[in-house]
Amino acid sequence: MVLALHMLDIPVSTRQYSYVCESGEVGAQKRGRRLLPQSEALGAHLEDLCAAAVNAQGTLFKTGCPDLIEWAEQSMRQDEETRRRCMRCFTRRTFGLSWPEAAAYSARSATPAELRSLGLLLHDPVDSSNRWCSAVYLGEAVEGGSMAARSLLAGALRGESSRENLRALGLALNGERPWK
């Protein structure tokens, strides 16, 4: 899968980032990280920055390199605009909603089918961003009184390897957001 970083017109693929992780090429890792929240220093328009950050972040989530995945997960917690865009893309893809519907979605009154979908993505072995977003939405469902969502979150604690995702799971079980 190849993603284009619109702002810089640089093709970035998960294969390239996987190679970077295996080869230990620090310079390429730094360039990828610069495209996340700190990329304001590049002087681009906010819309371009957001698109580049979301694309770079999505690529980092799929690298299989724990350090880059943790870094991308931390940026979800710290950068409101990137988080909002990632959550909206996740929601649209997961539930087949329009962009406006995805932007307004809340899982506080999620249907059993939505909870099942979120539960499956909570165990996605390839994309830790799916696990993070699922934890956030299942946390909303817990706030809405869903015991099924609470059970899904508790079950995911046993198998999660990412520190940030473990943090998101624990906070969701306590009715808190991972970015507060």
In this predicted model, what pLDDT tens digit does every residue of 103-142 receive, in sequence order? 999 999 999 999 999 999 999 988 888 999 999 999 999 9
pLDDT of residue 3: 35
Q: pLDDT for 22-58, tens place per residue?
A: 444 455 455 555 554 444 444 444 445 555 666 677 7
- Pairwise CA distance, residues 60 & 74, whole Å: 12
Stretch 162-169: mean pLDDT: 89
CA neighbor of 106 nearest in space, from 157, 149, 76: 149
pLDDT: is 137 or 82 the higher one? 137
The residues spanned by each domain of the chain are 2-86, 106-173
Q: pLDDT for 147-156, tens place per residue?
A: 999 999 999 9
pLDDT of residue 126: 85
Judge whether residue 94 has pLDDT over 60.
yes
Outline where the chain has alpha helix (H): 14-23, 26-34, 46-61, 66-78, 80-95, 99-104, 112-121, 128-143, 147-157, 163-173
pLDDT of residue 163: 85
pLDDT of residue 41: 46
Judge whether residue 177 has pLDDT over 70.
yes
- Pairwise CA distance, residues 145 & 164, whole Å: 24
pLDDT of residue 149: 97
pLDDT of residue 33: 52
Residue 68: pLDDT band (50, 70, 90) is confident
